[in-house]
Amino acid sequence: MLNFRGGIHPPENKWFTEEKPIVDAKLPKKVVIPLSQHTGTPCKAIVTIGQDVKKGQRIGEPNGYVSSPVHSSISGKVISIGNFPHPSGKDSPSVVIEGDDRDEWSEGIKERPDYLSLGNDELRKIVMEAGIVGLGGAAFPTHIKLSPPKEKKIETVILNGAECEPYLTSDHRIMVERPNDVFEGLKIIMKILDVTKGYIGIEDNKPDAIETMKEIASSEPGIEVVALKVKYPQGAEKQLIKAILDGEVPSGGLPMDVGVVVQNVGTAVAVYDACRYGKPLIERIITVTGRGVNEPKNLRVRIGTPFSDLLAECGGFRNDPGKVIAGGPMMGIAQTTTEIPVIKGTSGIVVLTRKETEQVEYCPCFRCGRCIDACPMGLQPSILSILIERGRYQEAKENNLFDCFECGSCAYVCPAKRPMVQFMKLGKLFLSPKKG
């Protein structure tokens, strides 16, 4: 089984939704569309209050190289532009649109049955214009990943279907329900990058997805579907590359440094939708799940829909909810309120009960070494956390603190319940040039 060093295996808890087909969420009455839904510079709003907008109409203009446009996800009227709560925890400039229930497409949307005949630059432009970002969670603008610098020769594209976060099943459902679209998307990406070798990596706990994908892949030379060991964080780029290609991305480097581009399966579908149907990224699949919701579901959701709408659609809370998490329980962000919009990077909403999230006081590290075994980056989180606890940030840096991508494996296994990720974030904050 394909594997990498370290990692953990928390209870998967995917049974809530893994068998449930994707259903369309109700059309939201009102959407809040943040202008920053991607890694990089936020967009500039190009609409004004009171303006009527259509579905798919661009409302935010990219502002700089690493940026991506945003589009209205419903048709209606802009009622407010200002700072609103954002899943990242900070308020963020957003456009609020009140729906008119007509759900009309904007005029610019046109289908391209002949998309395969388009040139690479054209395709890249479509991806950019459609505002596609990585849908796995990091939300890095896809068109940048598809435009590697000349000196980096890309040889392989890996489609990430690992979905290693517990609870989440959206990628799983996509692969089972839209396998062909996933493949088409991958082929577009491979074409843009001029690559002949593609992999689709899927964790071994989704046998139906593996089977479906393998079937299609059998007729596609150059594309290989590989089963991965069920282990968190199998879906992290570097770990995925290690597992499939046995290549290690150097410290501080990017996948393209070893000639690889990794894309999420959801992103591949979005790419296909954009190229084939001209649809910008205005909706995504998310999993609403956890012991704190009545009817866990996989939903197709318009970007900007408030969490509260979706939770209501899933039968509301139950079991005294303690935490609402945007994303998976490992790397997702806990929210203070449910009046938060779904953004492009929201892969799920997990509601944990109060009992599940009981907080315990943490103890001093007692050097059991579990975190060292668990760390997928080969770090020693125990030492790092102690160094940071004592304010010795520079030494933490010397111990490769910046290799940490905050996957939380160390914190998960820690018997002393030390808030490792918090320490790592703190350390990086102190070391960042702004804070000196």
- Round to whole Å and give the CA distance between 131 and 142: 8
Q: How far is the CB of 133 from another protein (least distance, A)?
A: 21
Closest to another protein by CB, 223 vs 260, is: 260
Tokens for 76? 């209606």
- Round to whole Å and give the CA distance between 53 and 99: 9
Largest CA distance in the chain: 63
Closest to another protein by CB, 103 vs 373, is: 373
Closest to another protein by CB, 10 vs 69, is: 10
Question: How far are the Cα atoms of 1, 64, 86 from residue 97, in angstroms, in the given order?
Answer: 48, 25, 16
Closest to another protein by CB, 224 vs 248, is: 248
Q: What share of the chain is helix, strand, coil (3-state, %, to 5)?
A: 30, 25, 50
- Round to whole Å and give the CA distance between 372 and 429: 23
Residues 6+ apart with CB under 8 A from 124: 143, 146, 147, 192
Contact 280, 58 (CB under 8 A): yes
Question: How far are the Cα atoms of 136, 216, 229, 262, 267 from residue 244, in angstroms, in the given order?
Answer: 18, 19, 11, 11, 20
Q: How far is the CB of 270 from another protein (least distance, A)?
A: 25
Closest to another protein by CB, 206 vs 238, is: 238
Q: Which helix (H) or strand (E) holds 395?
A: helix 393-398
Closest to another protein by CB, 25 vs 379, is: 379
- Round to whole Å and give the CA distance between 169 and 286: 8
Closest to another protein by CB, 220 vs 320, is: 320
Q: How far is the CB of 31 from another protein (least distance, A)?
A: 20
Q: How far is the CB of 237 from another protein (least distance, A)?
A: 12
Closest to another protein by CB, 1 vs 363, is: 363
Q: How far is the CB of 153 from another protein (least distance, A)?
A: 13
Closest to another protein by CB, 213 vs 228, is: 228
**C-alpha triplet 42, 45, 48: angle, nearest 5°:** 160
Q: How far is the CB of 350 from another protein (least distance, A)?
A: 8
Closest to another protein by CB, 182 vs 404, is: 404
Q: How far is the CB of 351 from another protein (least distance, A)?
A: 9
Contact 313, 250 (CB under 8 A): no
CA 292 to chain centre: 22
- Round to whole Å and give the CA distance between 392 and 394: 6
Contact 350, 10 (CB under 8 A): no
| Closest C-alpha to 269, from 103, 66, 127 | 127
Q: How far is the CB of 105 from another protein (least distance, A)?
A: 35
Q: How far is the CB of 371 from another protein (least distance, A)?
A: 9
- Round to whole Å and give the CA distance between 319 and 358: 14
Q: How far is the CB of 40 from another protein (least distance, A)?
A: 22
Neighbours of 234 (CB within 10 A): 27
